[in-house]
């Protein structure tokens, strides 16, 4: 049977099927109220891992939404956030920015917005090529030493970047684009699995494209499930280090996603799905 929990960093146990908060709208008021209801329902359904970031909602608005919905947080709930992307003063566009002062400021903002004294898992949203990696990770390590960060993760990294980062800090998690039909980062997942590092795939269901594949539809029919649930069940079965974080702003889709944790693929079904991977490219999370 597929293991349902994973200990991030070896000691922070969460249920493997989490929730990505990126798609939760923060305005207008009616949409915000619906988003609050979705976040609360996720926790009611047993989700203990929720992913957000400084840039979601525009400079911390998504973090504030989660705090509004869920604070004071129930025991065992992990809200992980990401730093390292900031609006350019010149263009106004979101760009990689791993300068120590930017990372430190975004962490301080996250602590205030999430209403916590420590971020148990903080991920570097993207490596900034214009700032030495040692400076970026060194800043996060300093924040950890100060007690403001518990564990450090990365996002959208290669195998070589992961290896280089691990020379500088203990890496607890990696968040890369990955799903049933898009396995460009399979080598990164393999490295994480071997090292016991949590792998948090985003774009977990290929924007619904999985349902267009005859093999996925066939397996879904056999299991009396949806193609989305099959795609999530495959992720959970593929590696014990995978912690999917499907996101939605709709209660029905949320309940469909969470129910995927209870679906068990047979070895034959897994083998059929294993042959579907490709390296289609995606966007940003």
Tens digit of pLDDT at every position of the chain (285 positions): 778 999 999 999 999 999 999 999 999 999 999 999 999 999 999 999 999 999 999 899 999 999 999 999 999 999 999 999 999 887 889 999 999 999 999 999 999 999 999 999 999 999 999 999 999 999 999 999 999 999 999 999 999 999 999 999 999 999 999 999 999 999 999 999 999 999 999 998 865 566 668 899 999 999 999 999 999 999 999 999 999 999 999 999 999 999 999 999 999 999 999 998 753 444 456
Instruction: Kindly tell me the burial class for residue 98, based on how many C-beta atoms sit within 10 Å of its own C-beta (0-12, 13-18, 19 or more).
Output: buried
Q: Which CATH architecture has domain 5-207+240-247?
A: Alpha-Beta Barrel (3.20)
Nearest to 233 by CA among 182, 273, 197: 273
Identify the pLDDT of residue 266.
97
Tokens of 254: 């949320």
Calpha distance 48→74 (Å, rounded): 9
Calpha distance 97→136 (Å, rounded): 9
Identify the pLDDT of residue 191.
98
CB within 8 A of 105, min separation 6: which ones? none
Tokens of 252: 């029905």
The pTM score is 0.94
Catalytically active residues are 56
């Amino acid at each position: 049977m597929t293991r349902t929990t994973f200990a991030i960093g070896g000691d922070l146990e969460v249920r493997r099927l989490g929730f990505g908060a990126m798609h939760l709208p923060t305005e207008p008021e009616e949409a915000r109220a619906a988003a609050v209801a979705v976040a609360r329902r996720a926790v009611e359904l047993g989700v203990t891992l929720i992913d957000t970031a400084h840039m979601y909602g525009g400079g911390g608005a998504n973090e504030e939404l989660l705090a509004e919905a869920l604070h004071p947080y129930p025991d065992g709930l992990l809200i992980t956030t990401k730093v390292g992307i900031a609006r350019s003063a010149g263009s106004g566009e979101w760009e990689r920015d791993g300068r120590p002062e930017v990372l430190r400021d975004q962490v301080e903002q996250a602590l205030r917005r999430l209403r916590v004294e420590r971020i148990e898992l903080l991920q570097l949203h993207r490596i900034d090529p214009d700032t030495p990696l040692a400076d970026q990770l060194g800043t996060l390590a300093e924040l950890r030493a100060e007690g403001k960060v518990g564990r450090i993760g990365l996002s959208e990294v290669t195998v070589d970047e992961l290896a280089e980062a691990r020379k500088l800090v203990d890496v607890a998690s990696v968040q890369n684009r990955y799903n049933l039909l898009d396995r460009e980062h399979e080598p990164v997942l393999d490295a994480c699995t071997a090292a016991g590092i949590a792998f948090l795939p985003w774009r977990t269901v290929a924007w619904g494209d999985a349902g267009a594949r005859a093999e996925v539809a066939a397996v879904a029919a056999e299991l009396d499930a949806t193609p989305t649930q099959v795609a999530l069940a495959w992720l959970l079965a593929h590696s014990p280090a995978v912690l999917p974080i499907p996101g939605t702003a709709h209660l029905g889709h949320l309940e469909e996603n969470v129910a995927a944790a209870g679906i068990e693929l047979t070895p034959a079904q897994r083998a059929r799905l294993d042959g579907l991977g490709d390296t289609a490219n995606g966007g940003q999370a």
